[in-house]
Amino acid sequence: VTSLLPAARLDELACLVDERGLRTDADALEQFGRDWTRAHTPAPGAVVLPASIEEVQAIVRWAREHRVAIVPSGGRSGLSAGAVACAGELVLALDRLNTISDFNATDRTVRCGAGVITAQLQAFAEEQGLFYPVDFASSGSSQIGGNIATNAGGIKVIRYGMTRDWVAGLKVVTGAGELLDLNRGLIKNNAGYDLRHLMIGSEGTLGIIVEALITLQAPPGARAVMVLGTPDMAAVMEVLAAFRDRVTLEAFEFFSEEALAKVVEHQGLPRPFETQSAYYALLEFDTPDEEAQAAALACFEHCVEAGWVEDGVLSQSLQQAQALWRLREDISETISRWTPYKNDISTTVSRVPALLAEVEEVVSANYPDFEIIWFGHIGDGNVHLNVLKPEAMAMDEFQRRCGEVSEGVFDAVARHGGSISAEHGVGLLKKPYLRYSRSAAEIALMAQIKRVFDPDGIMNPGKLLDA
């Protein structure tokens, strides 16, 4: 596979798209060559912006013929360097396939081009009196195609599951240039292997997602948000168990005092309450009637008496609920100025306390001079461990040291049967550690599967695995 795109090749490519479809200017190469990670210098050969599925197919066939590496690109909000093009690749950006169509009220499905922005779909659902529940802080820029390619999770997984659960059909152009129309909205379809689910989470290594049929659902009713201060992570898990038994949880998130302090300082937000705790839990739960509210308050009191909660606040209005959510949602953006090294680990909810105790030991023994920010979707067994780069330290040195410590963290993850990438995908950043979560036999099978869908190895080469 070549990454070189000489002028003659670019001329051929220009013939496959319209006048807005090919960019080689420095701005475009810089912008489309990177995602939210900042560890690689963007250096794509060109950026192609097809305006139709037919154009995507033509580009892939051309790339196959000339063995040109393609990096599929969505909103580039990814956190694993999956959409990074740093070796002269052709970036294929889905931005222009951004149409929402064919809403079907009976099936509660809607057709989305891969380039539809997550928030655009959420707003469309709301206009129909329905709800698209996949949500996270990057909803304003991430695309449906990118969400599907990473099987994105987010803040509502505890109630509504991952992106995978909302994909009723998928159109994919494989690395061989074939167009597959997978599942077509069927609820029941046991006619053979479900290739749709193979494509979900494949990080652009098997093909290009060009369109999806997305399921919508009835919106949730009244809800309230609570932020609770807790003395330690073990208490956070006790609070989770207590509330899950008594209310219907829409979300259960957590963050450390260090995370809160940064958000308060840099976003100008007020603290939720005076008391400073080591960790905070943020809960959203249904409040359909007074009984549900009373149950939540009784549970709060129970948690205080048990010593799991030191202080708390309950939202009294939608505005207050939104303000409390910002304490959690603004963390990623706030800490991005320290180019954090992110670990996105998970295990089963029951094993979280033991895993976190071990990870904390590894971290405090190995990162004594680094600032650590904990937050995440702990109700799903998923925590984000962020190491902030000291200003004076060079990026290479920082990455190297973090990489070393990651081995210890991932050892603990493996002992607890967990995942080294709960929701961000593997990309370039987590590729060296895939073996901590997947067996050699599984990785070998994945490489074989890649060769079936991408016989010439042109689809996002070097990401996820070396095949």
Ligand X SMILES: Cc1cc2nc3c(=O)[nH]c(=O)nc-3n(C[C@H](O)[C@H](O)[C@H](O)COP(=O)(O)OP(=O)(O)OC[C@H]3O[C@@H](n4cnc5c(N)ncnc54)[C@H](O)[C@@H]3O)c2cc1C
- Map residue 305 onto helix, strand or coil: helix
Cβ closest to ligand X, residue 101 vs residue 106: 101
Q: Which of positions 193-212 make contact with ligand X (CB under 6 A)?
A: 203-204, 208-209
Instruction: Determine, following the binding rule CB under 6 A, whether residue 120 of this chain makes contact with ligand X.
Output: no
Cβ closest to ligand X, residue 155 vs residue 213: 155
How many C-beta neighbours within 10 Å does residue 200 have?
Answer: 23
Binding mask 293-332 for ligand X (x = CB under 6 A): ---------------------------------------x
91: left (phi over 0), alpha (psi -120 to 50) or beta: beta
**CA neighbor of 14 nearest in space, from 54, 55, 57:** 55
Least distance between ligand X and beta carbon 117 (Å): 8
- Map residue 242 onto helix, strand or coil: helix
Cβ closest to ligand X, residue 207 vs residue 312: 207
Strand order in the sheet with 46-48: 22-23, 46-48, 90-93, 70-73
Instruction: Determine, following the binding rule CB under 6 A, whether residue 371 of this chain makes contact with ligand X.
Output: no
Q: Which of positions 414-453 make contact with ligand X (CB under 6 A)?
A: 423-424, 427
Cβ closest to ligand X, residue 148 vs residue 226: 148
CA distance 255 to 301: 21
Size of the site for ligand X (CB under 6 A): 40
Member of 258, 311, 333, 411 binding ligand X (CB under 6 A)? 333
**CA neighbor of 229 nearest in space, from 298, 313, 151, 160:** 313
Cβ closest to ligand X, residue 116 vs residue 309: 116
* C-beta of residue 334 within 8 angstroms of C-beta of residue 256: no
- Map residue 2 onto helix, strand or coil: strand
Instruction: Determine, following the binding rule CB under 6 A, whether residue 73 of this chain makes contact with ligand X.
Output: yes
Instruction: Determine, following the binding rule CB under 6 A, whether residue 382 of this chain makes contact with ligand X.
Output: no
Member of 82, 272, 381, 462 binding ligand X (CB under 6 A)? 82
CA distance 413 to 392: 30
Judged by CB under 6 A, which stretch of 130-138, 245-253, 388-396, 444-452 contacts ligand X? 130-138
CA distance 46 to 128: 39
C-alpha dihedral sign at 399, 400, 401, 407? positive
Cβ closest to ligand X, residue 256 vs residue 287: 256
Can you give the binding site for ligand X, defined by CB under 6 A?
35-36, 71-79, 82-83, 94, 114, 136-138, 142-143, 145-147, 149-150, 152-155, 203-204, 208-209, 332-333, 423-424, 427, 460, 463
